[in-house]
Structure 1
Amino acid sequence: MKLINIIEFESFNDERGRLVSLESQKNIPFEIRRVYYLFENSGLFPRGMHAHKKLKQIVIALKGSCRFVLDDGSVREELILDDPTKGLLIDSFIWREMHDFSNDCVLCVIASEYFSEDDYIRNYEEFLACRN
Structure 2
Amino acid sequence: MTNSTVFNCSLIYLPQVGNRNGHITAVNNSIEIPFDIKRVFYLYDIPSGESRGAHAHKECHQFLVAVSGSFEVLLDDGLTKRQIMLNRPEIGLHILPGIWASEINFSAGALCLVLASHVYDELDYIRSYDEFLMYRK
Same fold by TM-score greater than 0.5: yes
- Do structure 1's residue 59 and structure 2's residue 30 form an aligned pair? no
**2:12 paired residue number:** 7
- Asked if structure 2 preserves the Cα contact closer than 8 Å seen for 1:3 and 1:71, the reply is no
**What residue is the counterpart of 2:133 in the other structure?**
128
2-structure distance, mates of 1:48, 1:20: 25
Aligned residue number for residue 117 of structure 1? 122
Q: Secondary structure at the match of 1:36?
A: strand
Shift of residue 35, structure 1, vs aligned partner: 0.4
Between the aligned partners of 1:67 and 1:86, the Cα distance in structure 2 is 13
1:48 positional shift: 0.4
For residue 88 of structure 2, give the secondary structure of its aligned residue in structure 1: coil
Q: Secondary structure at the match of 2:134?
A: helix
Match of 1:22 in 2: 27
4+ residue stretches of structure 1 with deviation over 3 A? none
**Correspondence 1:97 to 2:91:** no
**What's the offset of the Cα at 1:23?**
1.2
Q: Give 1:129 deviation, angstroms.
A: 0.2
Mapped to 1, the partners of 2:48 and 2:9 lie a distance apart of 22
Contact 1:59/1:109 (8 A) holds in 2: yes
Structure-1 residue corresponding to 2:53: 48
Report the number of matched residues.
Answer: 132
**1:83 correspondence with 2:88:** yes
- Give the TM-score normalised by structure 2: 0.92
Q: Percent identity?
A: 35
Q: Give a deviation string over 1:43-81, Cα, whole Å, max 9, x none.
A: 343210100000001000000000110001111000111
For 2:112, which of 107, 120, 123 is the aligned residue? 107
Distance in 2, Cα, partners of 1:120 & 1:74 = 20
- In angstroms, what is the RMSD of aligned CA positions? 1.1
Give 5+ residue unaligned stretches, structure 2.
Answer: none
